[in-house]
């Protein structure tokens, strides 16, 4: 079956513009995660969705970052008024989420470059 897909694969934007990054999880996976991979900060957790529960937004670095998950499937990560320090690879992962320690399956990531 299809894995986790993300679009676009690369995004170049100008400082101050808004961007939307999309994630399509594996069908049937109830848990969805966003991570950010940057040279300065390494791999860091951003946000987590599990079914109909309130998302865990504890990793979002500022209020310019937001995410939503529609219909328990596709998720969109939005960054408003982008800054150069937002440049990173944004990774999405999904898992069955029905028990502790479920394997997370990662997408190929979106490389965001803010000029």
Partner 1 sequence: AQTVTQSQPEMSVQEAETVTLSCTYDTSESNYYLFWYKQPPSRQMILVIRQEAYKQQNATENRFSVNFQKAAKSFSLKISDSQLGDTAMYFCAFMKPMNYGGATNKLIFGTGTLLAVQP
Read off the tokens for 86. Answer: 């937002």
| Residue 38 binds to partner 1 (criterion: CB under 8 A) | no
Question: Least distance (Å) from partner 1 to the CB of residue 56?
Answer: 4
Distance CA 49, CA 32 (A): 5
Please, which residue, 44 or 68, has the CB nearer to partner 1? 44
Distance CA 79, CA 76 (A): 10
Member of 38, 59, 80, 87 binding partner 1 (CB under 8 A): 59
Distance CA 32, CA 41 (A): 21
Tell me which residue has tokens 């069955």.
Answer: 96
Please, which residue, 66 or 81, has the CB nearer to partner 1? 66
Binding site for partner 1 (CB under 8 A): 31, 33, 35, 42-45, 48, 50, 56, 59, 89, 91, 93, 95, 97, 99-109, 111
């Amino acid at each position: 079956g299809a894995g986790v897909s993300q679009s676009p694969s690369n995004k170049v934007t100008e400082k101050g513009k808004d961007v939307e990054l999309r994630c399509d999880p594996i069908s049937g996976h109830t848990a969805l995660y966003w991570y950010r991979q940057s040279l300065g900060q390494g791999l860091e957790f951003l946000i987590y969705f599990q079914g109909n529960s309130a998302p865990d937004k504890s990793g979002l670095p500022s209020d310019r970052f937001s995410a939503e998950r529609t219909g328990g499937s596709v998720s969109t990560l939005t960054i408003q008024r982008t800054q150069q320090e937002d440049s990173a690879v944004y990774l999405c992962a999904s898992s069955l989420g029905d028990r502790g320690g479920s394997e997370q399956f990662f997408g190929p990531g979106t490389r965001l470059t803010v000029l």
